[in-house]
Amino acid sequence: MAGSAPAWEAAASVTDPEMPMLTLADLGVLRDVSAEEDRVVVTITPTYSGCPAMATMRDDLVRTLQERGWPDVEVRVSLSPAWSTDWISDAGRRALQEHGMSPPRPGAGGGGGGPVPLRLLPVRRAVDCPRCGSSRVEVTSEFGPTACTAVYRCTSCLEPFQHVKEI
């Protein structure tokens, strides 16, 4: 990776098309960048299987790296290990918070062996309102405008907000 640091930096500056406050590096989908002379190979991983933003991420990476002087760019997709919200960086969590989105709690990915337990009650997460900081919040819907978010409502300031779901 000796000659790859500038390429990593360039790739890491590309932002997520759905959540532009996050770079692909902050989101944790940028897995590897290796550069050799004119050629760069970038490896990214999808957040969800059906994430429609993958094609845009790929196009944005190719364009950015070409603009920065690597004419030959290949973007590879790595499905394994599966993306986890634990891969969102601290800077990414702060950026989400600053833009009115509640970041996922760390340590929520993974999951041990055995069957996945059924959860029939509303999921209880330690979520604070990203606007007023109140912990008096309630889930409006487990599914939000993008695959990775749930919709919440703050019962103190009454504002709705999105929470990035732990997976």
Partner 1 sequence: MPEPHDDLHDLHDSPYEGLLVGDDAHWAFGTGFEDPLAGVDTTIPDGIDHAALATYCLMLGDDALVASHRLSQWCSNAPDLEEDIALANIALDLLGQARLLLARAAAADPGVVPTLPEGSPVPPEDALAFFREQGGFRNVRLVEQENGDFAATMVRLLVLSAWRLALMQRLVESRDAVLSAIAAKAVKELAYHRDHAGRWVLTLARGTAESRRRVTAALDAVWPLRWELDRSHPVEVALAADGVAVDPGTVTDEVDAVLEQVLAVSGLDRPDVRPVGPHGGLTGRDGRHTEALGLLLAEMQVVARAHPTGRW
Query: In this structure, what DSSP letter does residue 14 have?
Result: P
Cβ neighbours, 10 Å, residue 148? 24
Min dist CB 154 to partner 1, Å, is 17
Using N-to-C axis directions, what is the helix angle for 54-67 and 5-12, rounded to 10°?
Answer: 130
Q: Which residue, 4 or 97, is less far from partner 1 as judged by CB? A: 4
3-state secondary structure of 162: strand
Determine which residue in the list 12, 21, 132, 151 makes contact with partner 1, applying CB under 8 A.
151
Instruction: Tell me the C-alpha to C-alpha distance, in Å, between residue 110 and each of 5, 81, 149.
Output: 29, 10, 18
46 binds partner 1 (CB under 8 A): yes
Min dist CB 67 to partner 1, Å, is 12
Determine which residue in the list 63, 94, 99, 136 makes contact with partner 1, applying CB under 8 A.
63
Max Cα distance, the chain (Å): 56
> In the structure encoding, which two tokens stand for residue 134, read together?
């109140």
Q: Which of residues 68-97 bind partner 1 (CB under 8 A)?
A: 74-83
Site residues, partner 1 (CB under 8 A): 17, 43, 46, 48-56, 58-60, 63, 74-83, 115-116, 118-123, 140-145, 147, 151, 165, 167
